[in-house]
Amino acid sequence: MRFTLKAAVTSVWIGALSIGASHAADMKVTLLGTGTPTPRIGSFSASTLVEAGPERLLFDFGRGSTIRLFQKKIPLGSITASFITHLHSDHVVGLPDMWLSGWIGTPWGARKTPMVIFGPKGTVAMTENLTKAFSEDIRIRTDDEHYPAAGVAFAAKDIEPGPVYEKNGVKVSAIEVNHGEKIKPAYGYVIEFDGKKVVLSGDTKPDQHVIDAGKGADLLVHEVAIIEPELLKSYPNYRAIEDHHTSPEDAGRIFSEAKPKLAVYSHIVFATVKPVQDVPEDALAARTETTYAGPFIIGRDLMSFVIGDKIEAFDAGGHPLTPLSAQR
Ligand SMILES: [Zn+2]
Ligand SMILES: [Zn+2]
């Protein structure tokens, strides 16, 4: 019976390996985490998967990014390269989980080669310190379960703005963005493949680099902060939070100037006077539409976008989505 069960589980995962972008030259973007440090079950913290050709690229290791990949039946060890926007915890707390769980010799882990990571200054030091912090787990699993040493090694690099990765026709470039004076460097990323372009803003205030990169983009995934103005009076701390991010009106201006084929919100910071569980989507859409009339989508975890001859958007269940402005 055990053999049967194992065979069945393995065949599910082998079947899953063939599921990627729907056409060889398509790009597919999946939002693994659209949230922030707030520990919400419905929106994990920042993480985005970009699939292009044989490349599976992960941008940020937010909380629960391993769980979201598992939900998509994508083995953790099959990520070909990872990129960190900046070293705020909501973008890297999932790194040790991705690294160590991805090393475990199962159909959903099974990394046998070093984990490739690019990120701002401090990334290499973090991987070295994690290796020290988890040295007992590495010793135990090596002795006991005999996983290959290479699979738990890091191939990490601190990067500067500019081209950082080029393989199998996919090119990834880092752009410097403005997340505040004390959070430097902070990067956004541009991913190009077969004439298609995806831009991820990272965490940023309104930044000309994002607008420039977003021109001609198929998909511009931008962060946003929607904080009710009344809160700023009673809780001045929200002013500092808002000041590190982009308001819906400013995001709308950025979309209007860059004119991506489709704009998507991810990393949605929100605060309301009356506490709510979910993103106040109506207010976010209304405030965005004061400065932008083009198509956009308010991201939710596990939404995906397939970029081929046209751009198709799907909800977490795989059902087609219609962009907001196109509904009116
Ligand atoms: Zn941040
Ligand atoms: Zn963040």
pTM: 0.92
Cα(65) to centroid(ligand 2), Å: 14
| CA dihedral of residues 31, 34, 40, 41 (deg, nearest 10) | -10
HEC string of 152-203 equals HCEEEEECCCEEEEEECCEEEEEEEECCCCCCCCEEEEEEEECCEEEEECCC
Using left for φ > 0, alpha for ψ between -120 and 50, and beta otherwise, residue 200 falls in beta
**CA 94–ligand 1 middle distance (angstroms):** 15
How many angstroms is it from 172 CA to the middle of ligand 1? 20
Q: Which ligand is nearest to the CA of 244?
A: 1
Task: Determine the distance separating the centroid of ligand 1 and the alpha carbon of 185, expressed in angstroms.
Answer: 11
Q: Which ligand is nearest to the CA of 45?
A: 2
pLDDT values of the chain reduced to their tens digit, one per residue, 328 residues = 333 333 334 444 443 443 444 577 899 999 999 999 999 999 999 999 999 999 999 999 999 999 999 999 999 999 999 999 999 999 999 999 999 999 999 999 989 999 999 999 999 999 999 999 999 999 999 999 999 999 999 999 999 999 999 999 999 999 999 999 999 999 999 999 999 999 999 999 999 999 999 999 999 999 999 999 889 888 888 988 899 999 999 999 999 999 999 999 999 999 998 888 899 999 999 999 999 999 999 999 999 999 998 999 999 999 999 988 755 5
pLDDT digits (tens, 9 = 90+) for 164-191: 999 999 999 999 999 999 999 999 999 9
The tokens 């087609």 sit on which residue?
320
Distance 245 CA to ligand 1 centre (A): 8
Stretch (H or E) spanning 78: none
Say if residues 134 and 19 touch (Cβ distance below 8 Å). no
Q: Which of 228, 191, 208 is nearest to 307 (CA)?
A: 191
Given this model, what pLDDT does residue 22 score?
55
Using the mean position of ligand 1's atoms as its centre, give its distance from the Cα of residue 195 in Å. 30
Considering every ligand atom shown, identify the ligand nearest to the alpha carbon of residue 87 and give its number. 1
How far CA 290 is from CA of 97, 223, 325, in Å, comes to: 41, 17, 12
Give the model confidence (pLDDT) of 214-232 as tens digits.
999 999 999 999 999 889 8
Please name which of 277, 299, 290 lies closest in space to residue 224, comparing C-alpha atoms: 299
Backbone torsions φ then ψ of 314, nearest 5 degrees: -135, 145
Ligand 2 centre and the CA of 288: distance in Å? 20
Specify the pLDDT at position 70: 97
Among the bound ligands, name the one nearest to the CA of residue 44.
2
Catalogue all structural domains in the chain, each as residue range(s) with its CATH number.
25-323 (3.60.15.10)
d(CA 242, CA 246): 7
pLDDT at position 5 is 38
Collect residues with CB below 5 Å from ion ligand 2. 88, 90, 203
Residue 185 CA from chain centroid, whole number: 18
How remote is the CA of residue 190 from the centroid of ligand 2, in Å? 18
Model confidence over 133-142: pLDDT tens digits?
999 999 999 9
Q: Which ligand is nearest to the CA of 205?
A: 1
* 3 state DSSP class of 304: strand
Closest ligand by atom to 61 CA? 2
307 Cα: distance to centroid of ligand 2 (angstroms): 26
